[in-house]
């Protein structure tokens, strides 16, 4: 089991679009395993490669949606969604967090339905279609691979609160990370 450090908002690798995977080797299989191990150790729903400093277009997900465990990975994902609401997200039903913004949750508008197509570790086609929580996760992880944190989707007072939190925690500088399973996870307290 290899748990990798997770980059924190402010690191430029989180805002750099991922590069397509072209080499489907044993190293890729090992890397996807590391992503699952890191996600599990962090109690995450999903994890994209750039969150651990790797530029490849890969993400994993492992969550419970509607009482069913959904676990998988997608390489070179392409996202399709229903319409994204433009209204203020519900502060109770639309909360979203991120392992690269540890300890913070903000209401985030997302499409109710999403479909991701891509390939698996062997290069075979993969399609994941979902509503609700898994749809949110698919959108969140593909956003990561496009070089976008969920904080960039915030609007109004939530956007202002996120900017203040980033500044207060000095997460506007590169090089910050935390290691799941250790005491290095940044505190949720300012």
Binding residues for Fe cation are 98, 140, 144
Backbone angles phi, psi at 74, to 5 degrees: -135, 135
CA nearest neighbour of 59 among 128, 130, 156, 158? 128
CA distance 88 to 109: 7
Cβ atoms of 48 and 105 within 8 Å: the answer is: no
Kindly list the catalytic residues: 141
Length of the chain: 190
């Amino acid at each position: 089991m290899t748990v990798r450090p997770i980059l924190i908002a402010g690191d430029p690798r989180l805002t750099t679009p991922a590069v397509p995977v072209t080499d489907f080797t044993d190293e890729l299989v090992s890397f996807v395993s590391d992503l699952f191990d890191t996600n599990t150790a962090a109690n995450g729903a999903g994890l994209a490669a750039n969150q651990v400093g790797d530029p490849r277009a890969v993400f994993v997900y492992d969550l419970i949606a509607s009482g069913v465990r959904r676990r998988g990975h997608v390489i070179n994902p392409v996202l399709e969604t229903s319409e994204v609401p433009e209204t203020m997200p519900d502060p109770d039903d639309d909360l979203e967090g991120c392992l690269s913004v540890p300890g913070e949750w903000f209401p985030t508008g997302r499409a109710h339905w999403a479909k991701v197509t891509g390939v698996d570790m062997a290069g075979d086609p993969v399609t994941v279609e979902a509503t609700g929580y898994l749809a949110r996760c698919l959108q969140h992880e593909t956003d990561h691979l496009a070089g976008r944190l969920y904080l960039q989707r915030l609007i109004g007072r939530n956007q202002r609160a996120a900017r203040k939190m980033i500044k207060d925690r000095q997460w506007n500088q590169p090089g910050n990370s935390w290691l799941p399973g250790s005491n290095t996870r940044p505190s949720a307290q300012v």
